[in-house]
Amino acid sequence: MKKLFAFSINLLLAIMVFTGCNSSDKPKDLIAKKWTVTTATTKDGTDRTEDLKGTVIDFGKDGKVIVKGKDLDETGTYTVSEDGKTFMINQSNGKKANNDILTLTKDKFSFKDIEGGMTISMESK
């Protein structure tokens, strides 16, 4: 009886592991959509949300990124690290931005620009 119980528990755990891992839960898959900026704060704590209000960042599945908002119309490419903790944006003007991923779910995404210190939070559109 104990062996059957242990086998049943192990089987249940195996099923949970294999069915709980969805490829859409990978950071590069979660990022690939349109996001709207909800908050933006500089490293010294200055609130820049009004400056970026309404800005939409579209991360394409093909690795392209489009940023549109007040006085913003930029394009480039992006890559997500294998561990899903960072991503880099290569803007078409040659500038690069390395970012730490703070939160990433199917509907919320926040990150911090490693060099500049700006923290941006977004929601999926």
Domains belonging to the chain, first-starting first, are: 2-124 (2.40.128.540)
Q: Around Cβ 52, how many Cβ atoms within 10 Å?
A: 20
Answer yes or no: are the C-beta atoms of 69 and 54 closer than 8 Å: yes
* Among candidate residues 101, 47, 88, the one with its CA nearest the CA of residue 110: 101
* Cα separation, 63 vs 32, whole angstroms: 8
Which residue in this structure is represented by tokens 């939409």? 56
Residue 5 is predicted with a pLDDT of 41
**Taking the model in full, what pTM does it have?**
0.78
* Cα separation, 46 vs 40, whole angstroms: 9
Residues of the chain with pLDDT > 70, as a percent, come to 81
* Cα separation, 50 vs 40, whole angstroms: 8
- What is the tens place of the pLDDT at every residue in 59-113? 999 999 999 998 899 999 999 999 999 999 999 999 999 999 999 999 999 999 9
Residue 21 is predicted with a pLDDT of 46
Residue 4 is predicted with a pLDDT of 41
